Amino acid sequence: MKFIGPALLLLSATPALANPPAYLPTRDVSITYNLSVPGHQAATYQLAYDAASQRARIDDPAQGTYFLVNLPDGTAQLVVPALHSTVNAPDLSALTRQINTAGQARFTALGPGYYAGLTCEKYLVLNDQGTGTACLTPDGVVLHFTGHDSHGSADVTATSVTYQHTPVQMFAPPQGNSSINLPPGILQQLLGK
């Protein structure tokens, strides 16, 4: 869950410029990220993104769980394979609304950057929810992001990027999983937020 908030600080910052940079990938991609949050041990996450369907899968290897995000439907789910369960919670779907609804971010170009073997353009990103810097490839891949909002600060760095198609079944909960519907606020409590 730590990855979602910092990443969405950038993604929810829909640019208010005439020609904003792409802030979501425009083609299929798999990315490994390192996340550093003050006061927490560094973590590694894998993101798979299907550009045509605008679906994402964010794997947390340390916890053995993953998030499924469907931007067009405005839904997100937490899959817990060890329990054969899929958690549906309004708190997760609120994250997709942050991406889909236009914020009032301002992107200011800062110059070129280089992460995970790729070049990118660094931007200062300002909006009402927070401030950060992001390094974006021309096709919308976030290679580096550092910033803070009311929930804290984070540094996200891509360590590998592979442009590849991920099979569609990877963006859906496993068949046979039990579905758990949580009321608002419960997921945050369970995760200790």
- What's the CATH class of domain 4-190? mainly beta
CA distance 33 to 88: 25
pLDDT at residue number 98: 55
So what's the pLDDT on residue 92? Answer: 65
Helices (H), 58-153: 90-100
Distance CA 96, CA 58 (A): 13
pTM of the model: 0.82
- Strand ranges for the chain from DSSP E: 29-36, 43-50, 55-60, 65-70, 75-80, 85-88, 106-115, 118-127, 130-136, 142-149, 152-162, 178-181
> What pLDDT is stored for residue 166 in this prediction?
94
**Measuring CA to CA, which residue among 100, 97, 94, 46 is closest to residue 193?**
94
User: Residues near 171 by Cβ (< 8 Å), separated by ≥ 6?
Assistant: 48, 50, 53, 55, 56, 57, 68, 70
pLDDT at residue 5, as a whole number: 41
Distance CA 24, CA 38 (A): 26
pLDDT at 190: 56
Residues 185-191: contacts with CB under 8 Å, at least 24 apart: 185/91, 186/89, 186/91, 187/1, 187/78, 187/87, 187/89, 187/91, 187/92, 188/91, 191/1
Domain ranges of the chain: 4-190
Divide the 193 residues of the chain into consecutive groups of 10 and give the mean pLDDT of each group: 40 45 89 91 94 93 91 86 87 58 67 96 82 90 87 90 95 92 68 53
Indicate the residue type of 118.
L
Closest by alpha carbon to 154, among 142, 162, 165? 142
pLDDT at residue 96, rounded to an integer: 59
